[in-house]
Chains A and B, each alone.
Chain A
């Protein structure tokens, strides 16, 4: 996805014809974020496709699918493909993403190197398609290994499809890299309410004919095991080319390798300022910066604020930054009974991190303040977490309250009228947008008794 965004940026800057894309996958790029929506059934798989092959061709971009790069030869400025052909470059960008880390569970990988048929990874469109295929066999139950964002999404997606799901998480609470233990507890409880059992502090050790064995002695009987544990930067090409790799390929503010001015890296495979990310928005931000850099414009990547949003039915989570690592004052409101836990970390008046679980009201506003680093008022962070005051029922309108904005008529002037016709004639209320008509009728119906008498008189007059 980082590469796709970079190519869009290069095309927009007129560099399409100078661009070659070498992709290992057979699909044109697609939006990986939405895989769990496909699994859940809310998205057609086709709606994930980003640009089609023709789009690249129309813009002069040389897109080569099924092209696995095996080496970068920095001395000759060429890359070598699996079929031993080479492609020359002026600048090469590594957007190789991450590889899923398979948890060490015995029995998952069979003797011949293939996965046990009950086991599914969940990272690519192909994984998703395979998993959807297995659903045709109507599995009764599924165990999700990993209680992170992806694990929760997959668990919810399968549960929505009527499959009994369980989650196994090695750490002591759910979403442990994003939220604190009490928010994790709220989440666990919410998952239980939704019918998903969660096993914490438990590692799956072995897959046998009986089921998935945990290190706490339990065995979970299951037809389906989905591995959602994390990934790590895919940096083997960079390593082979003797570029500096820590966790990821180390790049500077121009996303340039610290070793070679003609090699760049963006997305999950890159490490900037000590950070690697597994999220789309920083990858896209990097792609935008790099498009500028490659077009010869001044641009610098200065890190990115991450907002992680869970996409799952009936489970609301939004994590801003790293609430467990960020220093600051913590404003927190929790109601475990209702299943809500809302926390903001505030430093120098700015929201520097936060976690909203179970209640996303004002999430749009909070995210804006976080992204823009708005300096808030003293009470504001707290007020943002409080429920919005509900509108109280409208009190009796005072005589000077404006009832009809179109004609500028007060309640008192309406009360002085005898009938709707009278209102129209003398005040012109109700003759504009018509929005005040219900209020006018109500005011006429609830006039003081004296005037009701005159209304009776009026009807008597009408009969004589």
Chain B
């Protein structure tokens, strides 16, 4: 029996794994986030163990014939190392690039960042977390001076008065979290859900608003205007704890309810209803998720809602405030320790000389040798194989061709590489395009820490040994670093790496130096910041925000609208999202036989179905300026009639999505683009 956590989303639900012969069995375990509950993805998480789809030997593909052949680990790693060296010699260090993932443990994320900067000497490293919560991260940094998804434990929402969920379908995407919402309602609190689709989360709402995709921002501006007009803003809090309100107050005066209605499609009366609900509540919690964040104005959208929370005086107040519901398992930790193009461990900025000096000392290298800021995830992929872009890519924990926006284009970029290496446990769609595929362990076969959506650092314990022929990502990093003759030391033991990470994060914003594996085990996880000697920080901002003056910032934001507006040829909005039984690109969940894999579908309203002649269950074609896909129609009254929805777990949805990027977070606009549907 091994106590550990679920392999999937950012809740990191506690679970216990027991060995049953060669197989593993999941059972419930009490942990504050999930209280023993699991969704079907969690219950069936062990289903890949012993699966015939697991890769158990490195594979090398012949570029001419396309044929795969098995290789030994030494052959594969020698091959990769020699190619990386040759590319570096010919084109410079930035010819080699690394792409990580928000599902990797902290130890792996840390080691991958160090590998890129020290062993490859490249600035070209980023990760798929850019496509997760990066807009909220950027907004949090601007407003609070720090980015921790939830600055309070998730269970705190049970004690708030009004919880506003902007673009979150947590009842399907992280089901055990919905228990906290239900308890909030049992306590007499109200739930507000804002989503273009009436989801199972929306069904639980006391007030449900259904805006046009891409208009959560003006909705927030309109709500703030009404709060100000009613004299419901907390002037004392604003004066004592914030700066910048006056500009924001004035700019929202242009957003009266009927103006909001025209732009967002939410009736003015509902905007008033929401404002009244917030004005009369003592404790308000605003939570954003991908629906608000995955936009070319995602950062501005989050800031607009943050402004609402700040104007009400909520952040720092008990059982109130603003938070982001991070998506990926280690979306939080994954961005803190160096696999992001602009950051070093401890959430240090790579262009900060003091940060470089500190990390260089831990690594035992010259600070000047650490490269500067690289390209963001999409820009990195977009540059692959171009004259100025990287010639090789090493991929860990990501299935790019399913999850990247404008995926057909990205697949063509991958095809132009001199070398594509993918470490994965199965032959994912991206692995299938690689020159070398390296079989790696899954979560139950390794130990490491993750940082969940609450900023709580938790420990996954190894429950079972890896199948023969399979290695840990950490072994691969060390194997390559050694072959490349890299400076510094390259341990493979997670605990040793975690100690190095603690030292590297010490004094940074995300300070882990006081966290140990033992403390995590004893305390159900430890919340950062946790300098040595600290108890950790479950709740932030009670006294101060993280800017030098201790104040939070109101940021004046304007609504520009989606990057791609509907046209006569593409008259609809397309939005994308998840279904309960699948996770992300589906590389794991689509291979678990106990999870239904019904394939992609196109959700549309009866009014629209009638317009285009679609019938439930019959195929329809969705087109955007970037591509098209065909899937069965699912006709539902729960979606806006001017919007279609496609889940993104299968190849298809992201052939359609727009690669327009947010100016500050570099988040692509996954959640809205112009589309046409035909039967």
Interface of A with B (CB < 8 Å)? 5, 12, 30-31, 33-34, 37, 42-44, 46-52, 54-55, 281, 307, 309, 311, 360, 363-365, 367-369, 371-377, 379-380, 383-384, 389, 405-408, 428, 431-435
Contacts and interface: CB of A to CB of B under 8 A. Distances in A.
A204 B559 CA distance: 45
B246 interface: yes
B43 A407 contact: yes
A405 B173 CA distance: 11
22 contacts: A47-B225, A47-B249, A47-B253, A49-B250, A49-B253, A50-B253, A52-B250, A281-B259, A309-B268, A311-B257, A363-B261, A363-B267, A364-B264, A367-B262, A380-B607, A406-B40, A431-B43, A433-B175, A433-B176, A433-B200, A434-B182, A435-B171
B261 A367 contact: yes
Contacts of B253: 30-31, 34, 47-50
A433 B170 CA distance: 9
Interface of B: 28, 36-40, 43, 171-172, 175-179, 182, 200, 204, 212, 225, 228-231, 246-247, 249-251, 253-254, 256-259, 261-262, 264-269, 558, 566, 568, 571, 580-581, 596, 607, 610-612, 637, 640-642
A359 B536 CA distance: 54
Given A31-B256, A44-B228, A435-B182, A309 B37 contact: no
Nearest to B637: A389
A329 to B, nearest CB: 17
A432 B37 contact: yes
B642 A368 contact: yes
Contact of A408 (B228, B269, B596, B610): B596
Contacts of A408: 40, 581, 596
B256 A42 contact: no
A162 B611 CA distance: 48
Contact of B43 (A5, A360, A364, A428): A428
Chain B interface, DSSP helix/strand/loop, else mixed: helix
**Which 3 A-B pairs rank lowest in CB-CB distance, beginning with the nearest?**
A377-B611, A364-B265, A433-B175
A434 B178 CA distance: 7
Contacts of A307: 262
A37 B607 contact: no
Contact of A375 (B36, B249, B254, B571): B571
A365 B640 contact: yes
Contact of A368 (B265, B568, B596): B265
B39 A50 contact: no
Residue in B262, B612, B637 whose Cβ sees the most chain A Cβ within 10 Å: B262
B175 A406 contact: yes
A50 B228 CA distance: 13
Given A47-B225, A368-B212, A383-B607, A407 B40 contact: yes
A365 B642 contact: yes
Given A368-B265, A376-B611, A33 B256 contact: yes
Contact of A364 (B36, B176, B229, B266): B266
Given A374-B642, A408-B40, A433-B178, A52 B571 contact: no
Interface centre among A46, A50, A364, A374 (most CB of B within 10 A): A364
- Residue picked from B36, B179, B225, B254, most chain A C-beta under 10 Å: B254
Contacts of A389: 637
Nearest to B42: A432
A380 B644 CA distance: 17
Contacts of B212: 364, 368
A376 B38 CA distance: 44
A195 to B, nearest CB: 21
A12 to B, nearest CB: 8
Contacts of B179: 433-434
